[in-house]
Structure 1
Amino acid sequence: MDGETGEEGRPMDLRNWHRERRWRPYRADLHREVARLRAPAFARYRVEVRKDELDDPNWEAEADEEESTRPFSAAMATIKKRVEWRKSNPAGDVLGWTPSSRQRLRRAPPLLHLCLMSLVKHGEEIESLEGIPDDLKHKIVSLLCSNRKMNSRILRTYLNGSTTEIHLTDCSWASEDVIQDAFTSCNIDHLRLVQLDLSGRCMPDYVLHTIFAKSQYSFPSLVTLSLKGAYRLTDNVLSVLASSAPSLKSINLGKCSLITSCGIISLAEKLNLTELYIDNCQKIDVMQILPALESMEHLKVLSVAGASTVCDTFISRLMHACGYNMRELVVADCHDEAIAAFLEASGGSLIELSLNNIAKVEHQTAIAVAHGCHSNLQNLDLSFCRRLTDEALGFIVDNCSHLSILKLFGCSQVTEQFLKGHSNSQVRIIGLTGSILDEMEMSKV
């Protein structure tokens, strides 16, 4: 017995050896019981059916229902449904689109983009932005933010001197003191645009109140304000914004999760807004703010992406009041079934349209976009609209001659038939090939 070892490789004396032999059968039974309990999670087996169950007409229906809930069966059902739909709806009869045989070369990244990305890569070496044109300066800072290269030193350099715009697409790196100090040293009298996105960490109510409440009209020239992702802001500061920036026309409060319907109604009463972004604000009920939206005679851009309260009634009433003037509508992640009817009736003025992740978008919506929005549409987001076929996408792109950007993130159903078959040479398709981050950066340049 001296030469035997236990399960962990340690030598056993005679007493331990007898104990190990005595418990071994029970351990085997325990392991078999654990395997039996876990087996249903990893495998399926056919259960014996009694004769009386076979005679029951409901048994087969219940079995089919159980089978349909399994992932593989659901996938097969989806494929079968898609094949049957295509057989009963030939592409030529529905959309009348055929791919072009003309081959196009893949567009190379712009030289400006390559130069800016090289500069961003070595952002810690930037000592000054003096002498750089404002438009390039803003692009450099935006790229530094999105690539996590921004810091307080570069921010001071960026705001040094007179500027009319501030573009900070990501403020998650900044502290409350950094933001307050930046606006203390900045000349705010001539600011027309302020973008402080993803500023939840550094932008509670009191910080924004400190920045904007210096005087009644402390931001007299401010037209555009973006506070997307400022999740610590409440309705209390919206009145301060309205009194400090009376010329404000565009405001982005997307993902400001504490803002409510009352705050938006109050803001609409005090400002003559033309652009309003309230994406993913779960405390805002769009039906409650609908009267306020209907009163905005000059509203041109509205984004209610992710709003669970969007419905056909909301779309119909909004379009009746503002549809003639609307040029951008974002209803991504909503479940609205009247979008095709709206596009056919009032889509002619739209320049940008986002239908991101709307499950019901398919060939009927494609026809509505191609016919109703063909005159002015420039930017279209159809990401995760997986019911759109190559024929539907080709029909849209070929009919919308001014379309320059088409986003198709998550559209795994798209094939080379569309990519090489459409005839719109100026459209840039984003989201299907290459690095997602690279494609998004290129779209900003």
Structure 2
Amino acid sequence: MSCLYASAPACSDLLCLLRRAAHFAHYANADDSAEEDNLHTGGNEARTLGPWSSARQLVEGRAAAAAAREDKIAAAAQAVAAAEAEADWRPRRDPALGPRVPPRVGKLFSMCLAVLVEYIDDVETLYGMPTMIKVQLARAVADARRMTPEVLRLFTDDGPDEVVLPECSQLMPATLAEALVPCATPRLERLELGLCGRGFGDAVAAAMVAGGQLSRLRSLTLGGAYRTTDADLAKLLAAAPDLAELRLPQCSRLQDACAIARLTPNLEMLDLTECRGISVQSLQQCLTSLKSLRVLELNGDTEVTDDLLTEVALACPLRRLGVSNCSAVTDRGVRGVAAAAPQLTALIADDVGRLTDAALVALSESCRDIQEVSLRRCTKVTDVGVAALTLSGKLRSLNMSGIAHVGPASIKALATSCKESLEELDVSWCRGVPEAWLGVLADSCTNLLRLTIFGCSQVTTKLLNGHTNDALEIVGATAQKTPPPSVARIVLRPEA
């Protein structure tokens, strides 16, 4: 007994443990995403030790975690204090002049497209129209939801080399097959079908490949094809062995990705956004076999792991990676990608809540050509990580919407290091960013074209109307209400 009492922790620590006994008795394993102030900082092995050894380990672990937190808070406070001083910025343009007057006459090309869309039902043929213009017209018609079966034939007649139909939700299988079969020739180079789940299935796929090989097809997009199975896809891929770009977002019935690598080994771009039916093992076998893969989109796949990302980065010359909403991805995965793929130029990691500054520091140190980063709602990121991304001076696009811990230090770093490269910035709901520093950014970054500020209630007309960048478009500004004009009061008196 004397030995036990001799090895026991201090009385205050013992009382603390007793108060938390219920929580300790019903312990559930915490994952890596747990907060730093977890009650069980001592580690999972503490559960298997004796009561006094376990208690001592927990106490020592809490003390170490508390010291680490204090060091982190002190470092962050020091970094913020260096940039906390209000920027010495004054509007060079008088805000009282009001907003800049937009051009009264739009672009002639846009006006012509609008006229064609309005009267698209009366157009008899698009014969002779260049493919590039026909593609833009198809997008405009789809945006206006005017893609009827009759209009569809305008874009598929005469065997075009590109068929772009961004919105096919109104097309039935028979209609889609009737329009696409004449286009399925060796001349076809690009086929894009968006929201085609209603009309695209096994019958359409079989009809398209019945005519022979699609030997020149380089780009294939089947968006939202929820009826497409692995067999249907294999029929198309077998007919297009030289395919370089394959986009299959929201194709929920796909289960085996191995056929993709087997039938199209020269893929350079692959988009499997929200294809949650594909297992991690199948993904690993497929992706590590694509030795030319440069662009990979795995957004929305909660089964994507750090090990998978590292192996793919080692096997492929990745330049762009999308892992938005991949909840299992952590700092370890991003560090592995950064180390294995120093040529990476774009990382899209929206809603990956387990990313911290450590991942961004590693990314900036290894990937010196990083140009596009999106970190929407990555709530553990702070000024330290954002400032690290700017060190290369090549950042063109940055999205840090919904990150509460960014402030003046991030904007100062962007305005200093990326004044010639930055083109797009999203600071929506970042209310810790002062208006004055946004003014410095707008005046310093001469190539900045788009600044998004939804939810930034600190921004006033001083910034909106006072910056000097005439090419800058500020999106999401709160509408400035003007007081109603004074109206003379009329009093009606009854006649005497």
Q: TM-score, normalised by structure 1?
A: 0.67
1:259-338 aligned at under 5 Å gives the runs 259-260=254-255, 262=256, 264-272=257-265, 273-322=267-316, 325-334=317-326, 335-337=328-330, 338=332
Q: Distance in 2 between matches of 1:333 and 1:108?
A: 40
Q: Distance in 1 between matches of 2:386 and 2:100?
A: 20
How much has 1:439 moved relative to structure 2? 7.3
The 3 A distance-change label for structure 1 pair 391 and 254 is same
Q: Give the structure 2 partner of residue 426 of structure 1.
A: 447
Instruction: Please identify which structure carries the higher helix content.
Output: 1
| 1:406 maps to 2:403 | no
| 1:239 maps to 2:234 | yes
Aligned AA for 2:233?
L
| 1:250 maps to 2:222 | no
**CA shift digits 1:87-116 (9 cap, x unpaired):** 551363899999795979999989877953
| 1:379 maps to 2:348 | no
How much has 1:429 moved relative to structure 2? 4.6
Q: Give the structure 2 partner of residue 134 of structure 1.
A: 131
How much has 1:317 moved relative to structure 2? 1.8
| 1:175 maps to 2:172 | yes
Aligned AA for 1:157?
L
Moved more, 381-390 or 99-108: 99-108
How much has 1:203 moved relative to structure 2? 0.8
Q: Distance in 1 between matches of 2:128 and 2:228?
A: 36
How much has 1:244 moved relative to structure 2? 1.1
How much has 1:245 moved relative to structure 2? 1.0
Selected match of 1:194 from 178, 183, 191: 191
Q: Distance in 1 between matches of 2:361 and 2:81?
A: 9
How much has 1:249 moved relative to structure 2? 1.9
CA RMSD of aligned residues (A): 4.3
Q: Which runs of 5+ in 1 are unaligned?
A: 1-55, 63-73, 75-81, 441-445
The 3 A distance-change label for structure 1 pair 184 and 309 is closer
Q: Which runs of 5+ in 2 are unaligned?
A: 1-16, 24-34, 36-68, 94-98, 403-427, 456-473, 477-496
1:221-240 aligned at under 5 Å gives the runs 221-240=216-235
Aligned AA for 1:357?
D
Contact 2:450 2:475 in 1 (8 A): no
The 3 A distance-change label for structure 1 pair 355 and 181 is same
Q: Distance in 2 between matches of 1:417 and 1:372?
A: 33
Q: Distance in 2 between matches of 1:104 and 1:401?
A: 26
Q: Give the structure 2 partner of residue 116 of structure 1.
A: 110
Q: Distance in 1 between matches of 2:92 and 2:373?
A: 21
The 3 A distance-change label for structure 1 pair 59 and 373 is closer
How much has 1:118 moved relative to structure 2? 7.8
Aligned AA for 1:332?
S
How much has 1:232 moved relative to structure 2? 0.5
Q: Give the structure 2 partner of residue 23 of structure 1.
A: none
Q: Give the structure 1 partner of residue 209 of structure 2.
A: 212
The 3 A distance-change label for structure 1 pair 152 and 124 is farther
The 3 A distance-change label for structure 1 pair 308 and 367 is same
Contact 1:250 1:276 in 2 (8 A): yes
The 3 A distance-change label for structure 1 pair 154 and 300 is same
SS in 2 for 1:266: helix
How much has 1:327 moved relative to structure 2? 0.9
Aligned AA for 1:228?
G
Contact 2:360 2:388 in 1 (8 A): yes
Q: Distance in 2 between matches of 1:407 and 1:155?
A: 37
SS in 1 for 2:342: helix
Contact 1:343 1:368 in 2 (8 A): no
Q: Distance in 1 between matches of 2:429 and 2:146?
A: 32
Selected match of 2:149 from 142, 148, 152: 152
Contact 1:405 1:427 in 2 (8 A): no
Q: Give the structure 2 partner of residue 79 of structure 1.
A: none
Q: TM-score, normalised by structure 2?
A: 0.61
Q: How many residues align?
A: 361
SS in 2 for 1:348: coil
Contact 1:347 1:373 in 2 (8 A): yes
Aligned AA for 1:352?
A
Contact 2:364 2:391 in 1 (8 A): yes
How much has 1:406 moved relative to structure 2? 3.4
Q: Distance in 1 between matches of 2:128 and 2:88?
A: 47
| 1:161 maps to 2:154 | no
Q: Distance in 2 between matches of 1:204 and 1:104?
A: 59
How much has 1:204 moved relative to structure 2? 1.7
Contact 1:330 1:354 in 2 (8 A): yes
